[in-house]
């Protein structure tokens, strides 16, 4: 064993920890995050090639071609950046900073009623397709917690998972697919077939992350919920992995999540998850604290694994 080999084993951990510390600092407003450029690009591509006059099969084929083309284009850009940035450490650090995006909700110091509703809506509406205006304040609290959980799983924990498991290129591929699935969301009628390829790949690549994060959140409960309850509720959700994650989070906070929601004026029925206690204002802050604690657990576990590898 030599020092060079030790450094090689621990290099990914140091890069990851550095990127996480920098990414959590309030240095860049969300609207200026680097992924906004990709959002604009993918939205423009959808406007150009997603023709509602085509058949469903043609829209599906167009979605596949757009996904492959855009993914190849982004990977070529990343390869050019890697060629320009000679140091692999700097390359991975910069890319991770572009991929990681932590979601949070800032609440007023005091309960301001309708003004608080507008504060919450203004923060989660840009990243949610749900019709929020008609929700009660309790409904917005629940929607906020669900949004925090799923968004941070997609944009933070999944990036960490694929980076530490496979490497920076896997993290890049995953995040590009996630952004395409977000911008071509198949819940929207116009994207129902065009966005299906990206949505299918995202569900597949995010499933292990949702389940591992759900198990992490379950372990942070004061009283561990029966696994049979989590599995039963997850099976009633439209995707098992996201249902398992939200159910675990609801039990961890001892609140209720899920239920019916409205998209583009159309009501969609979803099962109830967790307990029967409605989400309150303070639960939003507790949710953010619990996700941060789960992040610390992940980082400790990852660091321990890499340290054991380096020692061998």
Question: Among residues of the chain, what percentage have pLDDT more than 70?
Answer: 92
pLDDT of residue 278 exceeding 90, the answer is no
Tell me the pLDDT band of 10, cut-offs 50, 70 and 90: confident
The Cα–Cα gap between 241 and 106 comes to 28
Residue 3 confidence (pLDDT): 47
The three-state secondary structure class of 3 is helix
Render pLDDT for 154-210 as a digit per residue (tens, 0 to 9): 999 999 999 999 999 999 999 999 999 999 998 888 899 999 999 999 999 999 999
In sequence order, the 6+-apart residues with CB closer than 8 A to the CB of 68 are none
Residue 187 confidence (pLDDT): 84
Residue 1 confidence (pLDDT): 44
Beta-sheet strands, E only, within the chain:
256-258, 261-263, 266-268, 272-274
pLDDT of residue 224 exceeding 70, the answer is no
What is the residue extent of each domain of the chain? 3-298
């Amino acid at each position: 064993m030599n020092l060079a080999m030790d450094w090689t084993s621990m290099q990914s951990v140091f890069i990851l920890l550095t990127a996480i510390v920098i990414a959590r600092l309030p240095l860049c407003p969300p609207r200026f995050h680097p992924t906004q450029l990709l959002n604009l690009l993918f939205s423009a591509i959808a406007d150009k090639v997603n023709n509602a006059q085509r058949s469903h099969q043609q829209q599906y084929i167009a979605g596949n071609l757009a996904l492959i083309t855009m993914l190849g284009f982004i990977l070529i850009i990343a390869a050019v950046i890697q060629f320009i940035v000679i140091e692999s450490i700097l390359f991975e650090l910069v890319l991770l900073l572009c991929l990681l995006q932590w979601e949070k909700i800032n609440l007023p110091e005091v309960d301001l009623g309708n003004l608080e509703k507008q504060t919450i809506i203004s923060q989660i509406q840009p990243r949610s397709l749900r019709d929020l205006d008609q929700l009660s304040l309790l409904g917005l609290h629940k929607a906020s917690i669900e949004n925090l959980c799923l968004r941070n799983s997609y944009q933070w924990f999944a990036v960490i998972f694929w980076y530490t498991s496979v490497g920076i290129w896997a993290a890049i591929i995953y995040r590009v697919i996630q952004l395409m699935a977000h911008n071509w969301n198949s819940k929207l009628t116009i994207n129902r077939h065009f966005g299906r390829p990206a949505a299918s790949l995202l569900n597949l690549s995010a499933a292990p992350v949702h389940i591992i994060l759900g198990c992490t959140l379950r372990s942070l409960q004061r009283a561990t919920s029966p696994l049979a309850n989590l599995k039963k509720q997850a099976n009633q959700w439209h995707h098992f992995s996201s249902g398992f994650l939200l159910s675990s989070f609801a039990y961890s906070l001892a609140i209720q999540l899920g239920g019916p929601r409205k998209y583009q004026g159309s009501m969609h029925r979803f099962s109830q998850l967790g307990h029967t206690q409605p989400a309150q204002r303070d639960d939003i802050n507790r949710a953010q604290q619990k996700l941060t604690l789960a992040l610390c657990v992940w980082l400790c576990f990852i660091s321990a694994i890499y340290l054991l590898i380096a020692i061998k």
